[in-house]
Structure 1
Amino acid sequence: MNTTPAAEEPQERTVDLASLKVLAHPLRVQILERLSRHGAQTASSLAEVLGESSGATSYHLRQLAKHNFVREVAGKGTARERWWERPPGALNIPGRDLADDPAGREALRLVNREFEQLRGTALTDFMTHGIEELPAEWIGASSINTHHLHMTVEEMEESSRALEEATKRILAPYRADKRKPPENSRAVEVHLNSFPLVDGYRRDHS
C-alpha cells in the first residue's frame, strides 16, 4: 500500500477586506514573507531573525492563522514549540475593489508598502553584497532586467497576464509543494514587475 501523501495543489486565494485588515501590520507581513522565502519556522526562530520577542511572533502567527495566511505544520513540533508554514498558492489582493473602502485603502497601502520594502531590500542586498558573498555560478545564474516601453492600458494588461501565466508555467516544477528541495539548493526570489510610471503619468497630465 502506498502511504506517501499526495502533493497538495496550490490554491490561489483572493484576500477579502477583513483578512487584509488583519494582514495590515508590518510584523505580520514580515512573518508571511519569511515563511514564503524560507519555509516552515517556529515563533522562536522568527523572533531571532526579525529582532522581536517570541511572544510577539507567536501572537501575530495566531492572528494570521485565524485568517488562513499561515497554518501549523501537521505532525511537527510540540505543544510548546509549534512549527508554522504558509499554505501553498498565490495571494491575490484586488486593489481596485478594496480601495473603494477608506479602511481598505489604508490597509492596502500598508501591506503593499511593506511587501515592496521587503522585495526592495532583498534586491538591494543582492546587488550590493551578492558578488562578494555568493559563489560565481549563482551570480551568473541570476538575471536582473528592466524594459522601457510605451503601451496602451489594453496592451499592458495583455502582456502582464501573458507574463504571469508564463512565469507560473516555468516555475511550477520547482515549487516547494511539488518537490523536496535538493541539498545544494538556496532560497531564490523571482520578481516580475509590470507597471506604468507614475512620474510619467503626472508629467503628461500636469
Structure 2
Amino acid sequence: MTDEPEHTEPEHAEPEHTPAAARPTRRIDARSLRGLAHPLRMSILEVLALDGPATATHLSRRLGENTGTVSWHLRHLAEHGYIEEEPGRGTKRERWWRAVRDAKLLDAAEFHDDPGTRDALAVYLRQLAQQFFARTVTYLDENWDGEWQHAATFSDWRDLRMTPAQLARLNKDLMDVVARHTPAPGTEPDPGALPVIVQIQSFPRRERGGPA
C-alpha cells in the first residue's frame, strides 16, 4: 500500500472507485473549494465515496455528529454538486445520499494569489492529509493476515532531485500505472479481491543546513 482520488503535483486528483477515463472530470474552482473546505463536509464526502450511499442518520452515527448538523452539511455538499440523492431510495422524512462519481482536479497554484480562497485551500489540503494519515493508521490497527501484510507496502524515496517539470512527469507516470490497474466499469473483481487504497504523495522539500 502506498500513499481524496483523492495527487498533488500542484494538482490533486481525488481517488474514486471508477477509472478516471470512464468518469467526467470536474475542476474545483474557488467557489466549489470554499463549499467543500470544511472538516465535517470532507469527512461526509469521504464516507460516501468509500462506503456508498447513506442517510444523515447513518452518517451521524458513523461520524459522532448531531443528525441536524450532518443534514445541513449534506445540503451544502449537494448545492455545490459533490453529492446527489440516491434514486429510488429514501422517504419524505429521510433521504439517501451518494457521492457524485466524477474525477475531481484541483490546481493549488490557481489560488496562490487569491487571499479570499487561500484559507479554504489550507483547510482542504490539511484535512486531506489528515484523511490520508487516518486511512494508514486504520490499516495498521487492523489485524490483517500475513498475505495481505506481505502485499502492502510503505515506501519512500529521498535521493531524488527534480525540477517542477520533472516532478510533474513523475506524478503523471505514477497516475498512469494506477490507471492500468484500475478495472473498467462493470468488471467483476477476482475472487478474494478487496478494495485497495493507493495514496501517492510527492512534493519538494526545502533544503536545510546541517549542524553549524
Q: TM-score range by the shorter chain?
A: 0.7 to 0.9
Which position in structure 2 is the counterpart of 1:3?
none
TM-score (normalised: structure 2) = 0.80
The letter of the residue matching 2:128 is F
The root-mean-square deviation of aligned C-alpha atoms, in Å, is: 2.3
Percent sequence identity is 33
SS of residue in 1 equivalent to 2:87: strand
Q: How much has 1:27 moved relative to structure 2?
A: 0.4
- Which amino acid in 1 is paired with 2:151? A
Counterpart position of 1:121: 134
Q: Give 1:144's aligned residue.
A: 154
User: Which residue matches 1:47?
Assistant: 60
Query: Equivalent of 1:63, from 62, 76, 80?
Result: 76
Flag the 1:183–1:46 CA change in 2: closer, same or farther, 3 A. Answer: farther
Matched ranges for 1:63-102 at <5 A: 63-102=76-115
Q: Which amino acid counterpart does residue 61 of structure 1 have in structure 2?
A: L
Secondary structure of the structure 1 residue equivalent to 2:57: helix
Would you say 1:153 and 2:173 are equivalent positions? no
Amino acid at match of 2:75: R
What is the deviation of 1:193? Answer: 1.6
Q: Following TM superposition, by how much is the alpha carbon of 1:66 offset from its aligned partner in structure 2, in angstroms?
A: 0.6
Q: Which segment drifts farther, 45-54 or 177-186?
A: 177-186
Deviates more, 1:80-89 or 1:104-113: 80-89
Pairwise CA distance, 1:57: 0.9
SS of 1:77's partner is coil
2:119 is aligned to 106
Return the offset for 1:40.
1.3
AA partner of residue 150 (structure 1) = R
Larger RCO: Structure 1 or Structure 2 (Cα < 8 Å, ≥ 6 residues apart)? 2
Q: Give the Å deviation of 1:93.
A: 1.2
Q: What is the Cα deviation at residue 184 of structure 1?
A: 5.6
Unaligned segments of structure 2, at least 5 residues:
1-21
| In the alignment, structure 1 residue 196 sits paired with structure 2 residue 207 | no
* 1:32 matches 2:42: no
Q: What is the number of residues matched between the two proteins?
A: 189
Higher percent of residues as helix: 1
Change (3 A) 1:203 1:93: farther
Q: 1:89 to 1:203 in 2, by over 3 A?
A: farther
Q: Larger deviation: 134-143 or 92-101?
A: 134-143
Decide whether the 8 Å contact of 1:70 with 1:85 is kept in 2: yes
Unaligned runs of 5+ in 1: 1-8
TM-aligned CA deviation for residue 49 of structure 1: 1.2
Distance 1:184 1:72 in 2: 31
* Structure 1 residue 102: Cα displacement: 0.7
Question: What secondary structure is seen at the aligned counterpart in 2 of 1:93?
Answer: strand
